[in-house]
């Protein structure tokens, strides 16, 4: 008996598999539509398919903001120091914190539910 044979002895039955559609929505497919199974599958798996979209859009937006912040910081460094530029500098610090924390948080979201 080899190592692989010892662990593959259990027979897999259909009740051992996780349910794809707990509400049995896949049973409502009719033969009237040629794409009925595809449409019902999309309706059933709507949230698992859409869950990575918002974090990915946030990551794109935060990444797009990085060069804009750098341009504004360079423009601010060329201006004379006044109370207004000091306040703008503090705002840029907050914007940098927001952007980099946002990049970190939006990249933590798992892209695939199996991770």
Share of the chain above pLDDT 90, in %: 43
- Mean pLDDT of the region 88-104: 96
Domain locations in the chain?
Answer: 3-47, 51-108
pLDDT at 112: 55
Q: What is the distance, to the nearest Å, from the Cα of residue 18 to the centroid of all Cα atoms in its chain?
A: 23
Of the pLDDT bands very low, low, confident and very high (cuts 50, 70, 90), residue 29 is low
DSSP letter string over 10-50?
Answer: SPP-GGGSPPS-TT-GGGG--TTSTTHHHHHHHHHTHHHHH
pLDDT at 18: 52
């Amino acid at each position: 008996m080899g190592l692989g044979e010892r662990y593959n002895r259990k027979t897999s039955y259909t009740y051992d598999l996780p349910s794809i559609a707990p509400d049995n929505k896949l049973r409502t497919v009719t033969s009237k539509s040629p794409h009925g199974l595809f449409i019902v599958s999309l309706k059933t798996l709507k949230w698992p398919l859409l869950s990575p979209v918002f974090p990915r859009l946030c990551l794109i937006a935060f990444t797009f903001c990085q060069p804009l912040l750098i341009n504004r910081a360079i423009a601010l460094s060329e201006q004379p120091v006044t109370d207004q530029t000091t306040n703008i500098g503090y705002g840029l610090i907050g914007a940098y914190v927001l952007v980099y924390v946002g990049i970190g948080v939006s990249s933590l979201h798992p892209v695939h539910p199996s991770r």
